[in-house]
Amino acid sequence: MDLAVIILLAVLIVLVFIILVRSVRIIPQARAGIVERLGKYQTTLTPGLHFLIPFVDRLLPLIDLREQVQSFPAQSVITEDNLVVGIDTVVYFQVTDPRAATYEIVDYIQAADQLTSATLRNVVGGLNLEEALTSRDKINAELRGVLDSTTGRWGIRVSRVDIKEITPPPSIQDSMEKQMRAERERRAVILTAEGDKQSRILMAEGQRQSAILSAEGEAKAAILRADGEAQAIRKVFDSIHRARPTQKLLAYQYIQTLPKVAEGSANKVWMIPAELGDALRGVGEFLSRPDEDGEGPGRNWADEADEESAASSGPEDEPLVTPEEVRITEEDLTPNLERTTVDPDEFTIPRPSSIDPEAPVHLSDPMPPQDGADRR
């Protein structure tokens, strides 16, 4: 009897424990529970402590109210240009109505997957491959609009849809890689050519400026040299003019200058002037003329000139050329750099008015008057 009572008490304790367990329900935060009473929807349990009627109320599996992320496998989609591409999508959604999510759809995740595949085929089917690769934002917006409008009656809100990857066929990938490689090579060639062009332009500009500066320097140097030579010629011409040289001295200097014309290794032919014979004849007659005592041509033209000078002007010696006193001043040593144009025609070698430069020289001819005196 005692044993039967103990067993009965134990059964009663177990039964009471089971009843308490099935009667008390604790719903966690961000969860929701659907309660059915005798198979009919009774209520939706919110987070907290709740009591149910044992063996009458049934609590369905809890529903997560947090935002969920569901990644769907690649979907084969045919583009407008008849290319099959694989598209992976990611959907962000949240259950807003646990009752609708429970009774309006059997499996809302699978339903969202199938709806996403159908919408992708509709959207991507109107685009070619290049547009599909570059229009992800447009595809995402259209997918989200269709999914949100359809899943709203299921108690689900779609917050975001992203295309994770678009995989074209392998042959198209090879073609795209070749095209990309060719495009990069073309850009590299263009950039290289542009850089070479710029460098050549800069080098040409530098050479042009250098040539201009060199030409300006050479022009100024040539002008300075020409001015210096012009002033030197002016000084020489003035000195010759003031010295009043005779025809004999000019003929002698002319003969001494002729050998310098033939100097230089490049001179193969020496052209003798026509008037050389007359100049040599005049000098020869002057050197070979006998003296007044009949002694013969043993006297030179310098002695004869001295005698003639002594006879005409007195016992004092008089040179063939009577130079004026020339003094070199500081102004003569300093070239006039401001003078850039010199007319050499204004400087002429003065000749006595009584001497014909084309006539031969005869020693028997009388000498031209000099300083107002007649020379014989």
- Which pLDDT score is estimated for 272? 58
What pLDDT, in 10s, does the model give residues 246-278?
666 766 776 777 677 666 665 556 555 656 566
- Which pLDDT score is estimated for 204? 93
Is 350 a residue whose pLDDT tops 70? no
Q: Which pair of structure tokens corresponds to residue 195?
A: 């850089």
- Which pLDDT score is estimated for 98? 92
pLDDT band of residue 305 (cuts 50, 70, 90) is: very low
- Which pLDDT score is estimated for 351? 47
Average pLDDT of the chain is 75
Instruction: Tell me, letter by letter, the H, E, C secondary structure of the chain.
Output: CHHHHHHHHHHHHHHHHHHHHHHEEEECCCEEEEEEECCEEEEEECCEEEECCCCCEEECCCEECCCEEEEEEEEEEECCCCCEEEEEEEEEEEECCHHHHHHCCCCHHHHHHHHHHHHHHHHHCCCCHHHHHHCHHHHHHHHHHHHHHHHHHHCEEEEEEEEEEEECCHHHHHHHHHHHHHHHHHHHHHHHHHHHHHHHHHHHHHHHHHHHHHHHHHHHHHHHHHHHHHHHHHHHHHHHHHHCCCHHHHHHHHHHHHHHHCCCCCCCCCCCCCCHHHHHHHHHHHHHCCCCCCCCCCCCHHHHHHHHHHHHHCCCCCCCCCCCCCCCCHHHHCCCCCCCCCCHHHCCCCCCCCCCCCCCCCCCCCCCCECCECCC
Q: Which domains does the chain have, with CATH numbers?
A: 2-63 (no CATH), 67-168 (3.30.479.30), 207-261+272-376 (no CATH)
Is 85 a residue whose pLDDT tops 80? yes
- Which pLDDT score is estimated for 322? 46
What pLDDT, in 10s, does the model give residues 107-164?
888 888 888 888 888 888 888 888 888 888 888 888 888 888 888 889 999 888 888 8
What is the mean pLDDT of the segment spanning 286-313? 47
Is 354 a residue whose pLDDT tops 50? no
pLDDT band of residue 28 (cuts 50, 70, 90) is: very high
- Which pLDDT score is estimated for 32? 93
Is 280 a residue whose pLDDT tops 90? no
- Which pLDDT score is estimated for 208? 92
pLDDT band of residue 203 (cuts 50, 70, 90) is: very high
pLDDT band of residue 293 (cuts 50, 70, 90) is: very low
What is the mean pLDDT of the segment spanning 349-366? 49
pLDDT band of residue 17 (cuts 50, 70, 90) is: confident
Is 323 a residue whose pLDDT tops 50? no
- Which pLDDT score is estimated for 248? 67
- Which pLDDT score is estimated for 310? 47
Is 296 a residue whose pLDDT tops 50? no
- Which pLDDT score is estimated for 320? 41
Is 207 a residue whose pLDDT tops 50? yes
**What does pTM read for this prediction?**
0.47
Is 355 a residue whose pLDDT tops 50? no
